[in-house]
Structures are given as structure tokens and as C-alpha cells.
Structure 1
Amino acid sequence: MKNIIFLLTILSLITCEQPQKLVFKSDGKINYTLTPNEVLMFDSIQYKTFQFFLNESHPEWGIVKDRTKNWAPASIASTGFGIPSFAIGVERKWISREQAAQITLNMLDFFMNSAQSADTNATGYKGFYYHFLRMDSGTREWNCELSTIDTGILMMGIIFARNYYDLDNEVEKQIRLLAGKLLDRIEWDFVIMPDKGQFANTISMGWTPEEGMHDWGWVGYNEALLLYILAAGSNMKNTEKSYNAWLKSYKWNTPYKGLSHVAFPPLFGHQFSQAFIDCRGLADKYMFEKGIDYF
């Protein structure tokens, strides 16, 4: 009897110490059936979007233009979004898997072998890449910044490629190899803001060889959620300190009764991270305390 009482006492203490499991209301399911016309509309939008990434990509390097204008440079963010679009084309049978894999490999090979230096005419530096690249040379355009968020979007696309192209052939094995190398060579500590000031310990928005590090860091909530998740899964030191700095500026808003959420008006700030990360049921300390996930 004493043993049973002792066991029950221990179990009760363990139960008290365990955090309560949060039951999220959202499960990603919407009780709505698309009409035939709506299906046609979404199919058309998806196909035309795929065509943009295919038609506006460099024929040799795979980098994707920022827009359809003849003068437009490539955007590394557009390129990052282009990588999964080619895979969607495979799944929808708009392009063969071999074609999509080759475009992706060409792209990764370009980034792996392009100029990485502090020179004003390079493609990137310390594993990061310039926001805009010339379509004729693949080098920096418009004296633009070495962009952390756009590099982040590019790397999320590259992670997707590493996971999607999983066949045992030379092209897809090379995709996985280059993806790992590109992710590993990012020097996250280079872009961490100093340990003081408004943006202390956050990830800087960018750097230029002319002026150095930007004065502003990424604070939440916005599209940079993917950037902190990416950095945490890579080789960034003091990840928790940087993430807590990001969380400090969150703003909680209740525009309508019963519809409270983290405030960030532009829709893309919510979409960009969730284009790559399944946020259903995911919550950090801040969101857990609010009883809501990131979905």
C-alpha cells in the first residue's frame, strides 16, 4: 500500500511539472467546396504563375527576373520562389521532372560558383547574396544591398529542392550536395546587430560594401519569421537571444471580437514564411501564451 501511495505521489508531481498541452483551434481545414469555375480560375492562375518563373528564368543559370520587363534584373527572392514552382509544374505535368531538376541544378551551380567577395561587383558575400543581379553577368545590380531576407527566401527554396529531388540519379544527388554546401557556408554572425540599441541582437536587414551594415534589424512580426527559423537551423550562434529580440516587438491586436492575432497589415508578411513552412500547430513562447499557433 505504501508503495502505491508513493508511486501516485511521484506521478502527481510529474504531472504538475509538465506544461499544459495547448489545443489549437485551427487545423488547416476549410469547409468549402470550390465551384467548377473557381477550379478553372485557380488552375489558370497557377499555370500562368508557373509560366512566369519558367519564361523569365535565365536559360543557363536559372536565376529568375524580378518582373517581365526587358530591363529587369534577376531577384534572388523571385529565384527562391521559382524553385518550388518548377516542382509544382512537375506535379501538374506541365514540365518533366528531368527538366525541372536540370533548371534547379543549373541555378544551384551558378550560386555555388559565382563570385563571393566584398568587391562591389560580386554576386554575394559571406554566403549571402545581393538582392538584384544582372541578367547578363549574374553580378550585383543598382548598388543594391546584400539582402538577408531575400537570401533567406532563396535558401528556403533551396531547402525545398534538397527535399523534393530525392531520386538516386546524378542530377538529383548533385542538387542535394550543392544545397547542403550553400546552406552551410552562410556566416550568420556577420549580420547580427550589436548587443545594444533598438535592434540589439537582431538580424540586420542588409549590408553594402560602400556603407557597411544597415542600421535596421529584423524585428517581428513580418516575413522575416522564416529568416530566424532558417538561422536557428543553421550555424548561427546565440540563436535564442536573437529570437527573443525578434519577439519583443510583437504587437497583439483584436480588430474584431474573438479574432485576436499578431498584427502585421501587409498580407505578404504572413504568406512568405508559410509558403515554405507548415505552421499548423507551431507556436513559440509568445504564441503559446496567447493560445494560438502561427497558422
Structure 2
Amino acid sequence: MNKLRILFIAIALLLVGCQSANNVRLTDEALMDTVQRQTLKYFTDFAHPISGMARERSDECNYSNEVVATGGTGFGIMAIIVGSDRKFIDRNQAADQIQKIANFLDTCDRYHGAWSHWYNGSTGKSYPFSRTDNGGDLVETAFLIQGLLTARAYFNLDNNQETTLRNKITKLWHEVDWNWYTNNSDSLYWHWSPTFSWAMNMPIKGWNECLITYVLAASSPTHPIDTNVYHSGWTASNHFRLEKSYYGHELALGFPYGGPLFFAHYSFLGLNPKGLKDKYADYWQLNQNHALINYNYCVDNPLKFSGYGEECWGLSASDDYEGYVAHSPTNDRGVISPTAALASFPYTPQQSMDALKHFYYNMDGKIWGEYGFTDAFSDEKNWYANNYLAIDQGPIVVMIENYRSAKIWNLFSSIPEVQLGLERLGFTYTGK
């Protein structure tokens, strides 16, 4: 009888152990730790072994798993800093990986100092993003420099390892010829190719994810743009001034309903929108209202998609059941992108926490895996991605941290060149 009881107890303990760890209720702080730590592994455990760069995505998706992403690496560098600061990884380990990345960036193909969108992580050769996009990508370069300068500010110890890293980052920063990418015009241009020159003809204009490109271009100590390029170029678009209200929240700039939520994330991983203003907008109010509109739209759910609600929201660019799509209230396909709500933590803390708990506890592990939350899902289509994208994972780690401690915002905002660049462009900034 005693042996039988022991057997029953052993079976019961085994069954409890087999239950999803997501059924264990954590404190909010512990839950955020868990999500940040797990998501960070995309940029450490899954980093390219030779270059240290972030792989574009976890699935090959019709191209080689050698493909690494420039902008995604910039986001990943900031995520690595979060990991170091929270002691998820060792500070020396973090510095070593970013040094490996910086050494790769110093020797790979470059175009007037700018980097391509994609590279072969083993060879350093540009991997074309499209047929004519095989050269410099200034926006991806800006996302990368945002991360590198944050690393330079963080690794401030007076030792050989961190001094060497700071010097390398400064060298790379000084070599980007931002002014050359104006093509002698009043706007920055997104692309230049040694094969196709300016054939893509994409001036960086209108409200979107690219504000950081103009800020860094004005901040450059070696190749700065004229301030007129910002005021005449960036703002010269039908999608700049909006001045409309949705669900009681006003949007000064951008697309109807705000567009995909990554507009409020990518430039603001380092650039703190709190107290950031110029003659065009209050950027905290703009981004917060954008997130609230996105949330309220999903709660309203005018297209009646399954799963949408107060705990399940967030429309942004991500994979979906038919490819990669910039989801938004005006392009709603029933697909929720976890990065949308989670990278909005600073703007919508309660709504984002509700979404985090729903994604983690209520979805039976369908979107939780090796590197955190997978890229997207659709209850409507019974479709759940099993892959991850660098540009979606990075903002989750970084913006949760900016909500928790403002660490990345504080580091980036302390950079003297950035402070000067903002002043040149007519910004005022209080950080509050």
C-alpha cells in the first residue's frame, strides 16, 4: 500500500511538472524580467557566430540563414545593454559581443560610410534587399548608429576592453557621410547603390519611423546636414501634418489612425520622446496618442475579428498568414503583432501589461518560445507564427526597459553630439 501511495504521489508530481510554466503567476516585475531575458536570447544565443550581428529572422524565408540585419543589430545592441544592466548576461560578455559586431562593421562593405540593409554575416558582403537596393541604406544605418552610440555611453569604464570599444564606435560614427546622402537636394535619401546610383529615388519624408535619421544627420560631428534639410525635406509630404482626432486622441502628424505602431518605436528606442518638442509636435503626446488609438481601435474592433479586445491588441508591421504586412487600423487583417503592444509599454503601461499577461498566460503557449513571443498571430485564421524577427524582438526588450527605468533613453540622451543635433534642428527637450 505504501508503495502504491508513493507511485500515485510521483505521478501527481510529474503531471504538475509537465504543466506549462506559463500557468505559474508571477509578479509584474518578475514577468517583465522573464520576457526581457527570454527575448534577449535572440540577440545573444541566436546571434551570427562570426559577425555577432542579429540574424534578420529565425526562419530562412527564401534566403540564406547567413543574412544579418543592420537595423535589427542596432536594436539588438540596445537589448544587450539592457541584459548587461539587469545582469541577465555578464558585462564583459556584452562588451565582447558588441566589439565583435563593431569589428565586422569596420570591415564589411560600406557606401560613403553607410551600411546596407542586409549582409552575409560570414563574408561581410552586402546581401541585396531588392534588385536595386544593394548599397547604402541610410535609415538602417541610423538605427544601427542609435544602438552603437548608446553602447558607447554605457561602456564607460576606464579599462582596455571598454576604451577600445568606445574608440571603435566613434570611428564608425564619424565615417558616415550623412550630408552626401542629400544628393545635393533639400532632403535626405534612403538609398544609394554603386551599381544603380540614386535610381531608387526615395527621399526620406513624412511622418514614419525615420525621425532618428534626421536627428543623427544633424548630430554628426564630421558630416552634418544643413538644418534646412530637416525643415524642407522631412516635413514636405502629404503624410506629415494631420491634425485629426480618433477615439478622442489627437494626432498632429502622420497617417489616419497613426499607421502601424512601429512609427512610435524605432526612432524612440534611444530618443526619449518625454518632453521632446519642436514646432511640429509634442512627440510624447504624439506617440502616446498613436498607441492609445491603436488600442482603442482593437477594442472597438469594427471588422469583428476573433480575439481582439482589451487584453489582445496591437497592429504593426510583422509577418502574417500571407507574408510580411504593415498592419494598422487602415490595413487590418485580423493579425496581432505582440511587439506592437509590448514596445508601447512607456505610452500605455496598463494596456500593455494587460496584453503581456494575456499573451503569456492565456494563449496556451501558442506564441511563447525559445526567444520570447513569436512574431504574430491571428485567432481569426487560427494562425500562429513560429518564427521571430530582429526588428520586432529588439523593441520589446528596449521599450519595456524604458518603461521600467528609462535606462536606454537616459544613455542616448546624455550623448553630447545628439544634444547638439537636437538643438540645431530646433527641438527643446526636458526628459519629463
1:189-200 to structure 2, matched below 5 A, reads: 189-195=179-185
CA shift for structure 1 position 209: 2.0
CA shift for structure 1 position 241: 1.0
Q: Which residue of 2 aligns with 1:120?
A: none
The answer to whether the 8 A contact 1:282-1:293 is kept is no
CA shift for structure 1 position 215: 0.9
The answer to whether the 8 A contact 2:114-2:136 is kept is yes
Q: Residue 210 of structure 1 is aligned with which of 195, 208, 215? A: 195
CA distance in 2, matches of 1:157, 1:258: 31
Tell me, yes or no, if structure 1 residue 184 matches structure 2 residue 174: yes
Q: Which residue of 2 aligns with 1:77?
A: 71
The answer to whether the 8 A contact 1:281-1:293 is kept is no
Tell me, yes or no, if structure 1 residue 240 matches structure 2 residue 227: yes
CA distance in 2, matches of 1:204, 1:130: 14
CA distance in 1, matches of 2:207, 2:155: 32
CA distance in 2, matches of 1:165, 1:43: 22
The answer to whether the 8 A contact 1:58-1:135 is kept is yes
Gaps of 5+ in 1: 1-34, 115-122, 196-200
CA shift for structure 1 position 133: 0.4
Tell me, yes or no, if structure 1 residue 150 matches structure 2 residue 150: no
- CA, structure 1 residues 291+191, in 2 after alignment: closer, same or farther (shift >3 Å)? closer
Q: Which residue of 1 aligns with 2:205?
A: 219
CA shift for structure 1 position 38: 4.6
For residues 220-265 of structure 1, give each alpha carbon's deviation from its aligned partner in whole angstroms, at most 9, with x where no partner exists.
Answer: 2111100000011004454211111212331222223353332241
CA distance in 1, matches of 2:188, 2:268: 20
- CA, structure 1 residues 286+102, in 2 after alignment: closer, same or farther (shift >3 Å)? same
Partner SS state of residue 230, structure 1: helix
Tell me, yes or no, if structure 1 residue 162 matches structure 2 residue 152: yes
CA distance in 2, matches of 1:192, 1:164: 31
Q: Which residue of 2 aligns with 1:131?
A: 117
- CA, structure 1 residues 98+237, in 2 after alignment: closer, same or farther (shift >3 Å)? closer
Partner SS state of residue 115, structure 2: strand
The answer to whether the 8 A contact 1:129-1:146 is kept is yes
For residues 114-169 of structure 1, give each alpha carbon's deviation from its aligned partner in whole angstroms, at most 9, with x where no partner exists.
Answer: 3xxxxxxxx21111011110122121113534211001111111101100000011
The answer to whether the 8 A contact 1:145-1:206 is kept is yes
> TM-score when scaled to structure 2?
0.53
Q: RMSD in angstroms over aligned alpha carbons?
A: 2.3
Partner SS state of residue 201, structure 2: coil
Q: Which residue of 1 aligns with 2:8?
A: none
For residues 84-120 of structure 1, give each alpha carbon's deviation from its aligned partner in whole angstroms, at most 9, with x where no partner exists.
Answer: 1111111222210011001111111221233xxxxxx
For residues 182-214 of structure 1, give each alpha carbon's deviation from its aligned partner in whole angstroms, at most 9, with x where no partner exists.
Answer: 11111112210443xxxxx11111112221113
The one-letter code of the counterpart of 1:66 is E
Gaps of 5+ in 2: 1-24, 289-432
CA shift for structure 1 position 286: 1.6
Q: What count of residue pairs does the alignment treat as equivalent?
A: 247
CA distance in 2, matches of 1:236, 1:173: 24
CA distance in 2, matches of 1:148, 1:273: 13
CA distance in 1, matches of 2:42, 2:249: 40
Partner SS state of residue 89, structure 2: coil
Partner SS state of residue 276, structure 2: coil
The answer to whether the 8 A contact 2:51-2:101 is kept is yes
Higher relative contact order (CA 8 A, sep 6+): 2
Tell me, yes or no, if structure 1 residue 274 matches structure 2 residue 268: yes
Partner SS state of residue 277, structure 2: coil
> TM-score when scaled to structure 1?
0.77
- CA, structure 1 residues 207+103, in 2 after alignment: closer, same or farther (shift >3 Å)? same
